Amino acid sequence: MSLFITDECINCDVCEPECPNDAISQGEEIYEINPNLCTQCVGHYDEPQCQQVCPVDCILIDETHPETQEQLMAKYHKIIAEK
């Protein structure tokens, strides 16, 4: 599953540079995560880096985009092939 940022986001700017897939960007009011690019850092790290650095713990699993570990790894391979 991809991750998403809740409206508790304080726009601190620490999550965006941590994302290895460039899935995080500034939205109209808060940062947003593109579910097509988010792999929860599968293929890069053992844990999602954005969650590790978020000072307000506002980055959660997006239940509306269910994916298995295998699907996340396949998405990772597709993303790095396109770079």
CATH number at residue 49: 3.30.70.20
Task: Work out the angle at residue 49's Cα, subtended by the Cα atoms of residues 36 and 68, and round it to the nearest 5 degrees.
Answer: 45
Looking at residue 4, its pLDDT comes to: 97
The full DSSP string for 41-62 is TTTT-SS-HHHHH-TT--EEE-
Instruction: Tell me the three state secondary structure of residue 67.
Output: coil
Domain that holds residue 22: 3-82
21, amino acid identity: N
**Per-residue pLDDT, 2:** 92
- Give the tens place of pLDDT for each residue, 34-75: 999 999 999 999 999 999 999 999 999 999 989 999 999 999
The reported pLDDT for the residue numbered 83 is: 72
Total of domains in the chain: 1
Task: Name the band, by pLDDT with cuts 50, 70 and 90, for residue 82.
Answer: confident
* Per-residue pLDDT tens digits for 9-41: 999 999 999 999 999 999 999 999 999 999 999
